[in-house]
A and B are shown apart, each in its own frame.
Chain A
Amino acid sequence: MEPTAVLQQTTPYHLLFLIPLLPLIGATINGLLGKRLQDKIGKAAVHTIAIGVMAGAALVALVSFFKMIGMPAEERYLLDQVFPMITIGHFRVEMAFAMDPLSGMMALIITLIGTGIHVYSTGYMADEPAYWRFFCYLNLFVFSMLLLVLGDSFVIMFFGWEGVGLCSYLLIGFWYKERKNASAGMKAFVVNRVGDWGFVTGLFLLFWGLGGVWSPLTNQYAPDLEIQHQAQGLGGDRQIQETAVPGVKPLAEVVAPEGEHGEAGEHAAAGEHAAAGEHGGGGEHAGTGEHGGGSRSVPIGPTVIFRELRDQLAITVEGKRPLVEGGELPVSIEGRPAASVRFSGLLQKEVWGIPLVFLICLCFFIGATGKSAQIPLYVWLPDAMAGPTPVSALIHAATMVTAGVYMIARLNFLFVLSPGAMTVVATIGALTALMAATIGLFQYDIKKVLAYSTVSQLGFMFIGVGVGSYWAGVFHLLTHACFKACLFLGSGSVIHGMHALTHAREHAHGHGGHDGDQQHSVLGHDEHKPHDHAPRDPRLVADPVDPQDMRNMGGLARLMPITRWTYLAACWAIAGFPFASGFYSKDEILWQAFANHSTLIPGWFIWAIGVVAATCTSFYMFRSYYMTFHYRAPSEEHEQHVHESPLNITAVLGVLAVASVLIGPILGLPKLWTGKAPLLEHYLEPVTQFSSLSLSGVRAPLEAHGLEWGLAGLSVLVATIGWFAARSLYLDGAKAEARLNAWKAQFAGLHALIFEKYRVDELYQATVIRGFQVSARAMAWFDAKVVDGLVNLFGTITRGIAWVDGAIDQYIVDGAVNLVASGVIAGGREVRKVQTGRINHYLLAVTAGVVVIVLVAYLG
């Protein structure tokens, strides 16, 4: 089936702006008045506002979502144009929000899980003095993410993109008084800036590539677009050559035939008429109605609006896509068919011999690696654990890290044009999944385990979107949001409980009476490190006052039953056991990776990496579960201090645990089991339809049921192996400890390497950061010696010249002026004597004058 253009229908819906606006209002109120509210009324006022706006946003999102669901599939694109921001010629940017199936799903994840995390935070952060600041940031974070997701154009998305980066900085460094936290925030921000560079560069390249005409002859960017008007009527072949500057090139209206979808087309037409009728023509974006022949006007040229970009790429003329592959295209001016323009397609354009599309996608992918923590920009995410645990949950589940996956899914129509870029995405995703999973195997900090797990799961999502199975990647995003939020909040609950214990330990030490071992370890704590003690090796010995170290836990199952069961449910989901959500999404991704033919490397290779990573996932998740909740019987100390968390924490955990188990089977039962496409795939079809059509040419429908069953069985098998290994090693600590230590000693080098995260941070430190520092120092030297030297040299020269100039001025110019003045004074002094004031003298002078005149008259 060859690609058919299905142009985007939109329906105005003026409620969408409320979804991001409400959290912004909450953030503003808490940001400006929060401190006063907290002091005067209490913390309840602060979180009532914050949770209220979140619930409001969730409600609006739900209403919009159901409105969208209620429409025919082709029209599921709600559009809310708030106000125009930039209008330059034909280029325009509007503050506009859009909800299509993809962004609708994302908005629901963000608002619903976000609300849950807000509720949870009221319990977790109850003792925080800067309570108002925390909720202000949380709301701002959600606002930014909603802006990113709901934005109708790259520009709005970029606002959200940057806002998310800012908020992550603010929240990771929330406890900024500790240098470690502040620098973790800074690291997240700086690493994300690298990704932002990719995003912006990709956008620039795309915008540039869409404009003007690429001349295949010179392989250069032709500055002018030549439109050949064929003058209508007037019985002549008069040809008018018109040129236009590419940047402000007229967004010529292209008449494109609608896809021949029979019934669907009818629906679209009817809906369009309805929309047009409702809103008086519906503006230039809503369908302008059919003028017969099923054609519609589509603006072409450089654009930052997703819809327009997609439509441009979807335009089909006689089975070819001229804007993608190059070719002739009829152009109408002011509604009349007027010209036939020759376009060179996006695919034909090259920069330095590299296909432009590949570069664009690569740049966007660099942006995605920054936000979604993929190789090479993943290093900020584990450090981001420095923030409060609800923040980690928010970053990992509902916001921020999903941004990259979302962006690629949103741009699926662009990424399918470049198999190279898709290969890069899938490969990086697979490598990240494996690498992060292996690091996760040996971490002792419960949040670090979860952080690397997130990086690894994001890798799976990128495999999904990389192999062109966008719905599977997004599906995993959805299930991951549920179970990872549950895991993080569960770990937060554990940390909350452990905190009482570690606090008591610290306290006890503060009063000076405890055994030597304790003292040694407490003194080993970072700041008060005495020089006579050997530094503690984090690989071997736990810090007894660290509430996040799993070696301090153990046996919590009885003390925190709700936390334990919810954590177990989420582990079950993430490890990929059947009937929980992780199984469906991960298995779908792996199957699609195996079956795909669109990447340049064989699918089974990606699949194999994914399976190994999945095994590791199962192992490290159950390891964390057993180390935390079993491992050993709880000590007296534990019994005394550690208790189950309050209801506002456990309730959220319960909801999320149910969601993380059920959401997969509800939305994603594989086609293999039911014979029908999974619910979510069907739901996302309007978004991914274009890319599926493009890929259908290269993807042979693989109908090997036996193989698919076999691979699914293998997935379950590796998950079981991981679980079994973790269980045998960590269920009973007394038995396993000796064996583990023996293995650690045997493979000390390898263990240290992985424990220290492959020393990637050290690598970056030694290369990139050192490089920058060295170059900064070189620059400083250059500045101090060369630039300053030059400046000083010119200063000295100028001073010399000025001295000479001053001398000339003083002695020659001023001398001349003074000479004239003193001459006049001297002359005046002499001439003054003539004027005596005696009338006699004047008379004599008059007489003398008369005599002279007479003499002259007579003698002359």
Chain B
Amino acid sequence: MEAFFNIGLNHFLILSAILFGLGLLTVATRRNAVAVLMGVELILNAAALNFVALSHYVEGGIGGQVVAVFIIVLAAAEAAIALAIVLAIFRHFRTIDSADTSTLQG
């Protein structure tokens, strides 16, 4: 029981895995493009959490935390661009359902 409550690396990794799984599930199942983006955010955060945790427990130093900050910036940039694309898709198709935008014809 003690191991369970004594917070260590495994807890972070498991949380991160759960986050990743949820994100993946979201990306795989949702057809709404915005929801997919949200799933991608979850996956990125799961990765960032992994970096921070492993940096803290295993390596020491601040390399992992720097990468986590990069990931956050990257996620923000990605969200901005992706939402812009989603807006453009919406304008064109009048929907953002990925099943209905499977055509490549312009």
Task: List residues of chain A with CB within 8 A of the CB of B31.
Answer: 840
Indicate if A843 sits at the interface (CB-CB under 8 A).
Answer: yes
Question: Which of A823-848 touch B at CB < 8 Å?
Answer: 837-840, 843-844, 847
Is the Cβ of B102 less than 8 Å from the Cβ of A840? no
Known: A840-B29, A840-B31. A847 touches B98 (CB 8 A): no
Is the Cβ of A847 less than 8 Å from the Cβ of B28? yes
| Interface SS majority for chain A | helix
Is the Cβ of B28 less than 8 Å from the Cβ of A837? no
Q: How far is the CB of A127 from chain B (nearest CB, A)?
A: 98
Task: List residues of chain B with CB within 8 A of the CB of A839.
Answer: 98, 102
> Which of chain B's residues has its CB closest to A840's CB?
B28
Indicate if B47 sits at the interface (CB-CB under 8 A).
Answer: no
Is the Cβ of A840 less than 8 Å from the Cβ of B24? no
Task: List residues of chain A with CB within 8 A of the CB of B98.
Answer: 838-840
> Which of chain A's residues has its CB closest to B24's CB?
A847
Indicate if B27 sits at the interface (CB-CB under 8 A).
Answer: yes
Is the Cβ of A844 less than 8 Å from the Cβ of B102? no
Task: List residues of chain B with CB within 8 A of the CB of A844.
Answer: 28
Q: How far is the CB of B104 from chain A (nearest CB, A)?
A: 10
Number of interface residues, chain B, beta carbon within 8 A: 9
Q: How far is the CB of A33 from chain B (nearest CB, A)?
A: 82
A843 to B27, CA, bound (A): 8
Question: Which of A503-562 touch B at CB < 8 Å?
Answer: none
Is the Cβ of B27 less than 8 Å from the Cβ of A838? no
A844 to B30, CA, bound (A): 12
Indicate if B99 sits at the interface (CB-CB under 8 A).
Answer: yes
Question: Which of B69-98 touch A at CB < 8 Å?
Answer: 98
Q: How far is the CB of B91 from chain A (nearest CB, A)?
A: 19
> Which of chain A's residues has its CB closest to B31's CB?
A840
A377 to B28, CA, bound (A): 114
Task: List residues of chain B with CB within 8 A of the CB of A838.
Answer: 98-99, 102
Query: C-beta contact mask, B18-56 vs A, less than 8 Å → 1, else 0?
Result: 000000100111110000000000000000000000000
| Interface SS majority for chain B | loop
A837 to B27, CA, bound (A): 15
Question: Which of A716-772 touch B at CB < 8 Å?
Answer: none
> Which of chain B's residues has its CB closest to A838's CB?
B99
Task: List residues of chain A with CB within 8 A of the CB of B28.
Answer: 840, 843-844, 847
Task: List residues of chain B with CB within 8 A of the CB of A843.
Answer: 27-28
A66 to B27, CA, bound (A): 127
Question: Which of A801-840 touch B at CB < 8 Å?
Answer: 837-840
A844 to B102, CA, bound (A): 16
Task: List residues of chain A with CB within 8 A of the CB of B30.
Answer: 840
A844 to B27, CA, bound (A): 9
Most A CB contacts (10 A, CB to CB) among B28, B29, B31 go to B28
Task: List residues of chain B with CB within 8 A of the CB of A847.
Answer: 24, 28
A831 to B24, CA, bound (A): 26
Task: List residues of chain A with CB within 8 A of the CB of B99.
Answer: 838
Task: List residues of chain A with CB within 8 A of the CB of B27.
Answer: 840, 843
Is the Cβ of B102 less than 8 Å from the Cβ of A837? yes
> Which of chain B's residues has its CB closest to A839's CB?
B98
Q: How far is the CB of A86 from chain B (nearest CB, A)?
A: 81
> Which of chain A's residues has its CB closest to B27's CB?
A843
A847 to B23, CA, bound (A): 12
Task: List residues of chain B with CB within 8 A of the CB of A840.
Answer: 27-31, 98
A838 to B30, CA, bound (A): 11
Task: List residues of chain B with CB within 8 A of the CB of A837.
Answer: 102
> Which of chain B's residues has its CB closest to A842's CB?
B28
A843 to B33, CA, bound (A): 14
A393 to B27, CA, bound (A): 123
Task: List residues of chain A with CB within 8 A of the CB of B24.
Answer: 847
A839 to B40, CA, bound (A): 14
> Which of chain B's residues has its CB closest to A841's CB?
B28
Question: Which of A379-416 touch B at CB < 8 Å?
Answer: none
A838 to B28, CA, bound (A): 10
A843 to B25, CA, bound (A): 10
Q: How far is the CB of A293 from chain B (nearest CB, A)?
A: 109
A837 to B102, CA, bound (A): 6
A840 to B98, CA, bound (A): 8
Q: How far is the CB of A834 from chain B (nearest CB, A)?
A: 15
A840 to B31, CA, bound (A): 8
A843 to B31, CA, bound (A): 12
Q: How far is the CB of A855 from chain B (nearest CB, A)?
A: 15
A351 to B99, CA, bound (A): 105
Task: List residues of chain A with CB within 8 A of the CB of B29.
Answer: 840
Most B CB contacts (10 A, CB to CB) among A838, A840, A843 go to A840
Most B CB contacts (10 A, CB to CB) among A837, A839, A844 go to A839
> Which of chain A's residues has its CB closest to B39's CB?
A843
Question: Which of A144-182 touch B at CB < 8 Å?
Answer: none
A209 to B98, CA, bound (A): 105
A843 to B39, CA, bound (A): 12
Q: How far is the CB of A387 from chain B (nearest CB, A)?
A: 96
> Which of chain B's residues has its CB closest to A837's CB?
B102
Q: How far is the CB of B13 from chain A (nearest CB, A)?
A: 15
A840 to B30, CA, bound (A): 8
Q: How far is the CB of A846 from chain B (nearest CB, A)?
A: 10
Q: How far is the CB of B80 from chain A (nearest CB, A)?
A: 21
A839 to B102, CA, bound (A): 8
A840 to B99, CA, bound (A): 9
> Which of chain A's residues has its CB closest to B104's CB?
A837
Q: How far is the CB of A833 from chain B (nearest CB, A)?
A: 15
Q: How far is the CB of B98 from chain A (nearest CB, A)?
A: 5
A407 to B27, CA, bound (A): 117
A844 to B28, CA, bound (A): 6
> Which of chain B's residues has its CB closest to A847's CB?
B24
Task: List residues of chain A with CB within 8 A of the CB of B102.
Answer: 837-839
Q: How far is the CB of B76 from chain A (nearest CB, A)?
A: 22
Q: How far is the CB of A592 from chain B (nearest CB, A)?
A: 118
Q: How far is the CB of A839 from chain B (nearest CB, A)?
A: 5
Q: How far is the CB of B20 from chain A (nearest CB, A)?
A: 10
> Which of chain B's residues has its CB closest to A836's CB?
B102
Q: How far is the CB of A835 from chain B (nearest CB, A)?
A: 11
A847 to B24, CA, bound (A): 9
Query: C-beta contact mask, A581-604 vs B, less than 8 Å → 1, else 0?
Result: 000000000000000000000000
> Which of chain B's residues has its CB closest to A844's CB?
B28
A839 to B29, CA, bound (A): 10
Q: How far is the CB of A851 from chain B (nearest CB, A)?
A: 10
> Which of chain A's residues has its CB closest to B102's CB?
A837
A37 to B28, CA, bound (A): 108
A572 to B102, CA, bound (A): 127
A177 to B75, CA, bound (A): 116
Q: How far is the CB of B2 from chain A (nearest CB, A)?
A: 29
A210 to B28, CA, bound (A): 107
> Can you list 17 A-B pairs with a CB-CB distance of less than 8 A?
A837-B102, A838-B98, A838-B99, A838-B102, A839-B98, A839-B102, A840-B27, A840-B28, A840-B29, A840-B30, A840-B31, A840-B98, A843-B27, A843-B28, A844-B28, A847-B24, A847-B28
Which B residues lie at the A interface, using CB under 8 A?
24, 27-31, 98-99, 102
- Given A837-B102, A838-B99, list of 15 further CB < 8 A pairs? A838-B98, A838-B102, A839-B98, A839-B102, A840-B27, A840-B28, A840-B29, A840-B30, A840-B31, A840-B98, A843-B27, A843-B28, A844-B28, A847-B24, A847-B28
Smallest CB-CB A-B distances: 9 pairs: A837-B102, A844-B28, A839-B98, A840-B28, A843-B28, A843-B27, A838-B99, A847-B24, A840-B29
